[in-house]
Structures are given as structure tokens and as C-alpha cells.
Amino acid sequence: MIYLDAAATSFQKPVTVRRAVLDAMTRMTSPGRGSHPTASRAAACVYACRDRAAHFFGVAEPQNVVFTFNATHALNIAIRTLVSPWDNVVISGYEHNAVTRPLAALGAKVRVASGRLFDQESVLEDFRRLLPGAKCAVCTHVSNVFGFVLPIREIAALCRERGVPLIVDASQSAGVLDLDFSDLGAAFVAMPGHKGLLGPQGTGLLLCGGSAEPILFGGTGSQSIDQTMPEDLPDRLEAGTHNVPGIAGLGEGIRYVAPRMTAIRAQERALTALLAERLRGCEDLELFYAGGETQTGVLSVRSARHNCETLAEELAQNGVAVRAGLHCAPFAHRSAGTLETGTVRLSLSPFTTQRETERAAEILCRLVRA
């Protein structure tokens, strides 16, 4: 199988990730639930991952790195901390449902800084125009549909100037693009562990600039006499048993990615350029490609003659794994003018090869021409 669905979930993992998961399952229990060796090993493992993530993302204190189930969980915490019903909130026009549905549930008044696809300046201009009077801003670093890199540093600077707290969705950028939390000055940055960080599913991180409000209540292994959640991070947001095998794998994923991130980024962009080049001559296939610094290893396409879902099914039957449809991001498709059709998304990983890229392009062109 040629796996080109890494924007959904990384499939190939470093062998060290698999080993760490197995080791945790056979030698560790739960941190904070005892002083015996299995609990102590779990506590050391969880702290090591937290500390590694803090160093990688420029978080001053490890306790401000909170483990979550996924990026959606992390975003819900951040949004519910900063947004109250009927607040004015500015979002980019490329947000995932993990952002827009929590805001809708709160009844927030959403202003959309759509901007043109692959036009960073137009997005920035929309944020500049819409930020006055906003209670909060939420912006994805990279569009999960198009790989469009939004000008997150400039948007963060605008938010700081206007005194508007910013939540960053780093689901598609963590492990691929440089992300320094201290430099960014955001209130929160949310990310999954199972995409660019190459960790297992069921893991995520929330980087916190300050305190946050829990959405899950229960035991933390600390201050058990109190019937309110602890005030201090990370315990305030980590109720219940940790996913220790997942966290162990995530820690090894970060260890693998950290020294290789520049090379990974260059490889994915080069292969995306190769993919676009091979697909340009394919009649009736529209490519959403800009290349350069404004796009990561994600390429969306659509055919004038083929339904996107059907085309993705045919690709799967020919051994190419992709994703088609709206990708849980209708706002992105509305901004790009693809809401009525959706797209077929091909997304690369550090393990995608040149031969696989060329073969996938060949198969896609043959199916479109059929």
C-alpha cells in the first residue's frame, strides 16, 4: 500500500515508538497511583515525555505541557477556558470542526478571516480588520485540506498588540514546522500526538500560557481530600488514568522527529512538488498547489468528471490510501471554493518515498483518464 493519508494519521512509525509502547504495556502501570516500581517507572516515563515536549516547543515549564486524548480534546479545553456564550471570536477561514463545533456549541459570535487560498497577506489583513472587539482568536497553523501555511507569527503579533488571547491549532504543523511557544506568545497551542509527531493515536498535547478550566473532573493522584480540581497544572487538566503506553510512544516520536524536522520538511515539500509536477499533465484534474514556504506536504486535487469519494475508493482499490470529501473542514472548502465538490487529499509523511510518489501520480492520472 502507498500511504498518502498522513494528514489524518501517521501510519508508519519509528521502530522506537513501537518498542516504547510495548515496554510501557509490560513494565508500567499509572503515575501517582503508588510507590511501587511499575508506578514509579510510569511516572518517570510521563515526566520524560512532558519535559521533552517542553524543550521541543519552547515551553518554559514542563508542567505547562498537558496531556490530552487528541487535539480536539485540547482545543475544547482552550476554547472553553477563554470563550463564554455569545462572545465575539475571530477564526481563520481554514479551521477544522474541532474548532468551529465547540464555538457553535457555546453560541459564540464567529467572525471569519477567510483570506484567499495560499495568500498569507490577505488572511493577515482580514485578521487585522476583524480583531477589534474580539474576546478571543483561534487560528490553525496549517490547513488540513490544502497544506496552506497561515502567517501564524504575524497573527500572534496582531493579537498581542490588540490584547486578544490566541489559540493555535498546530495539528498539521507540530513536528513539521518550527513552533516556539515562548516566542509566539499564544494563550494555548493544541496538537495531536499521532500526526507529525509520529506517536500513537489517543495522544495529544495542550501547551498552556497560564491556567485553564478543566472539562473533565475526577482523580488526579494528588490532593485527594479536596472535592475540587487542583489549581496547579498539569493536574488540573489531567483527570483520570493516563494513557501511559501512548505517552511513552509519543515521547519516542518527539525524540525521533526533533533532530530531523528540517530534513523532514524539505523532503515532504520536494515530494509534494514532484507529485504536482507529475499530475499537471493530467487532463481534467485541478491541483491546489502553490509550493514554497506557503505549503506543507499536502496536495488537494479534484476532477471535473469524477466524484471525489468515488475517485478515492478507486485509488484504494489500486493500493493508494488517500482521503476525500470535506475533511471535517467545511470552512476551508468554503474559503477555497470547493465546498460543493470536496477534494481528494494526498498527504505525505517522513516515510514516503520518491518511487511511491511517482507511482501514486501514475495511478491517479490513469484513473482520471479512464
pTM of the model: 0.96
Tens-digit pLDDT profile for residues 49-79: 999 999 999 999 999 999 999 999 999 999 9
d(CA 179, CA 175): 9
Tens-digit pLDDT profile for residues 257-292: 999 999 999 999 999 999 999 999 898 899 999 999
User: Look-up: residue for cell 518554559?
Assistant: 60
**Within 10 Å of residue 36's Cβ, how many Cβ atoms?**
9
Nine cell digits for residue 123: 488572511
d(CA 35, CA 104): 44
pLDDT computed for residue 200 by the predictor = 98
Q: How far is CA 279 from CA 72, 109, 185, 218, in A?
A: 33, 41, 40, 52
Cis peptide before 234 (omega within 30 of 0): yes
Q: Is the pLDDT of residue 33 over 80?
A: no
Q: Which residue has the higher pLDDT, 228 or 3?
A: 3
Q: Is the pLDDT of residue 149 over 90?
A: yes
Tens-digit pLDDT profile for residues 105-126: 999 999 999 999 999 999 999 9
Nine cell digits for residue 3: 500511504
- Chain mean position to CA 358: 27
pLDDT band of residue 35 (cuts 50, 70, 90) is confident
pLDDT computed for residue 226 by the predictor = 82
pLDDT band of residue 223 (cuts 50, 70, 90) is confident
Q: Is the pLDDT of residue 364 over 80?
A: yes
